[in-house]
Structure 1
Amino acid sequence: MGSLTVVIRQGADGRFAQVCRDSLVNCTPELEQIIEMPDDTRPGGVWTRISTPFVAFIDETVAVCPGWAGRMIASLIRSGAAAIGPLTNGADGAQHQAGDYQDISGFLDFADRIAQDRAGRTQSVEALDPCCVLYSRDRLTGIGLDAAPNDLPAFVHDAGLCLAVALDTYVHSFASYYAQARPEVVAMIPATASRILDVGCGTGTLGGRLKTERRIEVIGVEMDPTAAEAAGRVLDRVHRADVETLVLPYPAGSFDAIIMADILEHLRDPWGLLARLSPLLSSEGRLIASLPNVRHWSVVRGLLEGEWTYLPAGILDRTHLRFFTRRSGQALIESAGLCVIGTEPIRSAGPPDLAALVEACRGLLLDVSTLVDEASVAQYLYLAAPR
């Protein structure tokens, strides 16, 4: 009999639900049962179905790694806390840990390094992100647990019980898929910009940040209905539509900046869209675009081994229709009559020593002079201006 019950919190966007469930089943030998619960319900009735000494509430956007539950249970017992959370890319504060990986195997390697480097370490905290929290049933006895899942960690803390973070456990959150602040993109927007078009704005996190920092108008375009609804609460206007068929009601020169972060690779015809949008830039306007780098080592390695496996997120995201290198990405943007005036690489974990591979390629008369540098680049940011 297992010692752990996992309650999966189901949200409106179920695109990562199967990845979450598969990771739990494959990586949790302590698992006794899985209970699925809509995110907007209270867990009061759920507790009556749980007989295990430990229970974890996990968003369906979270993927776990081998050993996660065992480490968190051990840390919970050792710390004397009533609830404990992991490190994750999807949280703020003490739980935040940026990941330098691009695929599932990279995530697992990254999580394993954290487990080894920080074995047994915990930290007491005042709050926990509700995306993944493990509770001790014994320590919660008698406090009337009927708070909504998002409020449950705070409810436990307000009852005088302790919270902690397992610093040796890392889980990946796909929740940031539509909610990325992208400070490196924000840094490229001209300080004088007063009106911005954010294509593929997601939940409006980037534009919302801009509006808190500057006097600026931000107009978004987003196809996902849930994300568009959220963006509509923070941006000045949101067009909920497929940008490839949308006719925007703005004259030429309407925008000081157009942001296309993580969008062009999803399109059927990014060349055509860029050609239609570039005239909307003012004479001093700027286009800021980001594109995954298909020359990253994680992809090159797979090709050399005969693999091209689509994933829930990353460079080989299964929703990506187009793939670019640094040079072909620049050619894409310049095909719309723009001039690329800056390129910034966003790097992840570096590749192994590629000296032998480079030498073999040179023996085949291949130009691989930039391979070593570009193999660590997960994504390129392009800054472009009208010609």
Structure 2
Amino acid sequence: MYKVTIKAGMPVKTSIIILTYNELELTKKCLASIERYTDKDKIELIIVDNGSSDGTREYISNLPDVKVILNEKNLGFAKGCNQGIEAAGGENLLFLNNDTMVTKNWLTSMLRVLYQSEKTGMVGPVSNYVSGAQMIHDAYQSLDELESFAEAYCAREKHHTKRVLRLVGFCLLVKRSVIEDIGPFDEQFGYGSFEDDDLCLRALQKGYSLHIALDAFVHHHGHATFTANQDININQLYSENRQRFTEKWGTDFTYFTHPRPEIAELVPREAKRILDVGCGAGATGLELQNRQPCELYGIELHPLAAQAAKGYYEAVLQEDVEEVKLPYPEGFFDCIIFADILEHLKDPWRVIETYSSYLSPAGSIVCSIPNISHAEALFPLLLGDWTYRDAGILDRTHLRFFTPQTVRTLFPEETFDVKKQSYTYVHVDERVQLFLQEITRMAQSMQFPVTQLPEQSRIYQILLRVEKTG
């Protein structure tokens, strides 16, 4: 059922598509915030109801200047959004959850980012309740503080943006031309979860960029639709849709999209040309581009991840790290990153030696390597167990193993100067920790130089920045 009342002759710029399933009071707050903070002449409202039974259908049917689609049953998030797309007349499509409240200049700020470049395909805001880079922690304690917080925060972040590999669908602004190019939401994801990841990945594969408008804040209540529908098990739905996503793309693409801020922090801020070895989809590279002007080059064997990284790296070689012949002159790079790569190689010593010739004088290598003396590997070994796994320190694809001491063998003193060695830690069971402390005391009583065991058993990854000297 459609109910359409739009002023004739008014050009529509942005179609705001809102899905509802019960939770009428939240919908009212959402619509009131749009009314207060959005220029009505530049938008159209489309509300798709998925079979509400709490008076929502009657309420939205009586709203003026709104396109209403009433479904007899819950057709899911993806299907509802696609119905909204078909009904939309705007040049831009904004998918907005009904458990949100927008704030001052929200849409203006997002549109500014959307049209900063032809290749910008999607934009999202920051929020108090969202996963990933859009999350603002400890924003406020009550809705009474929302307006003042949002205004102050957005003023500090005015015209600031952040490029990312993933945006969350709770509030997602997309050019209509992009949807026409990559297609609408994939309806196999049903009620929700991973349909936004899938849409983002299709945009990346086509070369579009995704951005967060840091000066646009949208309050999000969170999971209202799932709360309103007791028949949906959110954990089961997430698990099933993650499996669908993995099967569709032939891999769990989220593995390639996690940024490594601890790695980015070690990269010199003056580095202009950076080689990211095993770059994945380029999440860490994006962290660097968001921080400093630089040219990124990558090596990535996985085709899906490499294609995503090509959207913003100068070049991505889809070849084996140990076999590739780099098409760059010696001294070309200011920094080379090996983030969890060296342990997968047959001869990481030779790789370091070979790649170092492409470093500029005083250029840096930044790397992260798992610590084989962490209790995750050490304690089972003491019990006679050395079982490879799908992930972790004993990942079945790991070929080489290092400790905080032996990792330095990769970087000979005559060629490199270690500028920083730091660590990430993973909690160790208290009983295991006490056991290792007892071993240390026993070893010392027998004059064995074992002093570092309890501390070293907590170190999960070794982080290094070395500088070329010779």
* TM-score normalised to structure 2 length: 0.48
Count matched residues. 257
> What one-letter code is carried by the residue in structure 1 that aligns with 2:417?
C
The correspondence for 1:191, drawn from 265, 269, 281, is 269
> Structure 1 pair 146/356, CA: closer, same or farther in 2 (3 Å)?
closer
The correspondence for 2:290, drawn from 204, 212, 232, is 212
**Alpha-carbon distance, 1:229 to partner:** 1.6
1:343 alignment partner, SS class = strand
Structure 2, unaligned runs of 5 or more: 1-75, 77-98, 100-130, 138-167, 172-184, 197-219, 243-251
Show the counterpart of 2:155. none
Alignment pair present for 1:152 and 2:230: no
> Structure 1 pair 126/212, CA: closer, same or farther in 2 (3 Å)?
closer
Show the counterpart of 1:239. 317
In terms of mean alpha carbon deviation, does 316-325 or 336-345 score higher? Answer: 336-345
> Structure 1 pair 150/286, CA: closer, same or farther in 2 (3 Å)?
farther
Show the counterpart of 1:229. 307
Alignment pair present for 1:350 and 2:428: yes
> Structure 1 pair 225/365, CA: closer, same or farther in 2 (3 Å)?
farther
Structure 1, unaligned runs of 5 or more: 1-54, 56-80, 82-89, 97-124, 129-144
> What one-letter code is carried by the residue in structure 2 that aligns with 1:373?
E
Show the counterpart of 2:465. 383
In structure 2, distance between residues paired with 1:92 and 1:212 = 12
Identity %: 34
> What one-letter code is carried by the residue in structure 2 that aligns with 1:162?
T
**Alpha-carbon distance, 1:337 to partner:** 1.9
The answer as to whether partners of 1:126 and 1:163 remain within 8 angstroms in 2 is no
2:392 alignment partner, SS class = coil
Question: What per-residue deviation string (whole Å, max 9, x for no partner) do you get for residues 233-290 of structure 1?
Answer: 2311100000101110112211111000000000001000000011211113111011
**Alpha-carbon distance, 1:208 to partner:** 2.3
Show the counterpart of 1:328. 406
* TM-score normalised to structure 1 length: 0.58
> Structure 1 pair 177/334, CA: closer, same or farther in 2 (3 Å)?
farther
The answer as to whether partners of 1:231 and 1:238 remain within 8 angstroms in 2 is yes
The answer as to whether partners of 1:185 and 1:288 remain within 8 angstroms in 2 is yes
> What one-letter code is carried by the residue in structure 2 that aligns with 1:382?
L
The answer as to whether partners of 2:338 and 2:365 remain within 8 angstroms in 1 is yes
Show the counterpart of 1:19. none
In structure 2, distance between residues paired with 1:305 and 1:355 = 17
In structure 2, distance between residues paired with 1:176 and 1:264 = 21
In structure 2, distance between residues paired with 1:264 and 1:213 = 26
Question: What per-residue deviation string (whole Å, max 9, x for no partner) do you get for residues 89-122 of structure 1?
Answer: x86667x9xxxxxxxxxxxxxxxxxxxxxxxxxx
1:162 alignment partner, SS class = helix
In structure 2, distance between residues paired with 1:359 and 1:191 = 44
The correspondence for 2:280, drawn from 198, 202, 222, is 202
Show the counterpart of 1:308. 386
The correspondence for 2:416, drawn from 321, 335, 338, is 338
The answer as to whether partners of 1:275 and 1:336 remain within 8 angstroms in 2 is no
> Structure 1 pair 241/350, CA: closer, same or farther in 2 (3 Å)?
same
The correspondence for 2:375, drawn from 285, 293, 297, is 297
Q: CA RMSD in A?
A: 4.0
